[in-house]
Structure 1
């Protein structure tokens, strides 16, 4: 978790678009299928917002810091 937090802080300081989600009870990698599914949906939401496309499925709202509008 310390590495993830450090990477997120570095991205913030550089003004890069970033989002970080922490999955309670998950360590390095995802062991639970729900966490894997949620992580992949969040990744797709991030990419859709960055590249401006509309995914076919409904995705969770993901707040992206430093996202140019």
Structure 2
């Protein structure tokens, strides 16, 4: 038997879609309902990693 969620599936879907549209990643903790929106900076991290690799692993000072 499954325990009912503190918020509905529809609410979870809406939060996730809204976070994506805002350029964020939604972090949900269902028990007690905590919702955190974290800026999605994966593209920036990938670009920084690519630049480091192009410079033979040396970071500019």
Pick the structure with more strand per residue: 2
Which entry has the higher C-alpha Rg, 1 or 2? 2
Which gives a bigger RCO, structure 1 or 2 (Cα 8 Å, sep 6+)? 1
Q: Shorter-chain TM-score category? A: 0.3 to 0.5
* TM-score, with structure 2 as normaliser: 0.32
